[in-house]
Amino acid sequence: MWRTDFNGAAGSRPSGDDWIIDTGTGYPGGPGNWGTGERETYTDKPENLQLDGAGHLKITALKDGATWTSARIETRRTDFAAPAGGKLRIEASIRMPDVTGDAALGYWPAFWTLGADYRGNYQNWPGIGEFDLMENVNGINKVWGTLHCGVNPGGPCNETQGKGSSRECPGSACQAGFHTYALELDRTNGAAESLNWYVDGQKFHTVTSAEMDADTWAKATHHGHFLLLNLAMGGAFPDGVAGRATPTDATRPGGSLLVDHIAVSVQQPAAASAARTARKPAPSAATHRHASAATGRHATHRHPAAAPDHHPAAPQGTTPQGTTPQGATP
């Protein structure tokens, strides 16, 4: 359906055909500090936002005196959706900033989505839905995945915390290399829809439609979303995990979020797929033999379950992500 590989000359911006660059400390008319309490100012300067010339998007947090700067981008497209009876998959290969310990206090990279109707409104979070595919704070070797929905505070998604879980990255630390973070919205069974989070193919979190009323679920999931990438500094989530205000004097500037690619795919409903298949010419006998030989080649993997995890409560005027809205969020 859609893919970007961030190819381009070093120092150039991501494609303006695909991406909007957010600047400042909030949307016009939206919550201050992006609704999350984060403390950086977003810019469109190449020092903060650029292609690295090696096929990656690079977002870097810097400090000038007492002022932190970084970057945040969002897709122009707002129509990434799962059709009724089908599936939506969103994934990205990301390396978190290679900063840990006290030097990482306040770092808050995120890859997430917001419901299309958030754009231009900025006051309808969390009802429009927010899917946090990947969040990380303070250089901890963990990925958090969260759904924000319903009303704030409280509601079926327990806002501002959201319905979330976390786990360590498989193989190597999240900060030590690229990992693939993915979300699947599964609507193949209208009576039992679900959101499923993965890291490197291992499922670590699920939220089902049975966990809330049908209207709340539909308002969060039955429509288009847009994608966001950002590197925040400080705010409710990193502060809550650290137990103090971040970033601190020990926090080291210069950490970069690297993104290799983003891909979005849609699986159409079975009926639609069958209709398309019926319109195709019948395959030859040789083709049939090849297809049957390939059937069932891939074994099903069992995914280890992850313990539930929650974002600490955050200051939310009306905003999402992490622990607060972030379409006003990171």
Segment 68-96, tens digit of pLDDT: 999 999 999 999 999 999 999 999 999 99
* 242-255 mean pLDDT: 98
Structure tokens at 10: 């070093």
Structural domain containing residue 78: 2-275
Q: How far apart are the first and last CA of the chain?
A: 25
**What is the C-alpha to C-alpha distance for residues 216 and 212, in angstroms, rounded to an integer?**
7
- Tell me whether residue 159 is in a domain: yes
Helices (H), the chain: 214-221, 236-242, 270-279, 285-294
- Tell me whether residue 142 is in a domain: yes
CATH of the domain at 193: 2.60.120.200
Segment 43-73, tens digit of pLDDT: 999 999 999 999 999 999 999 999 999 999 9
- Can you give the pLDDT at residue 270? 87
- Tell me whether residue 20 is in a domain: yes
Question: How many degrees, rounded to 5, is the angle at CA 68 between CA 229 and CA 42?
Answer: 40
- Tell me whether residue 299 is in a domain: no
- Tell me whether residue 311 is in a domain: no
- Structural domain count of the chain: 1
- Burial profile 10-28: b = 16 or more Cβ within 10 angstroms, e = fewer: eeebbeeeebebbeeebbe
- Tell me whether residue 298 is in a domain: no
Segment 150-190, tens digit of pLDDT: 999 999 999 999 999 999 999 999 999 999 999 999 999 99
- Tell me whether residue 191 is in a domain: yes
- Tell me whether residue 69 is in a domain: yes
R_g of the chain computed on alpha carbons: 20
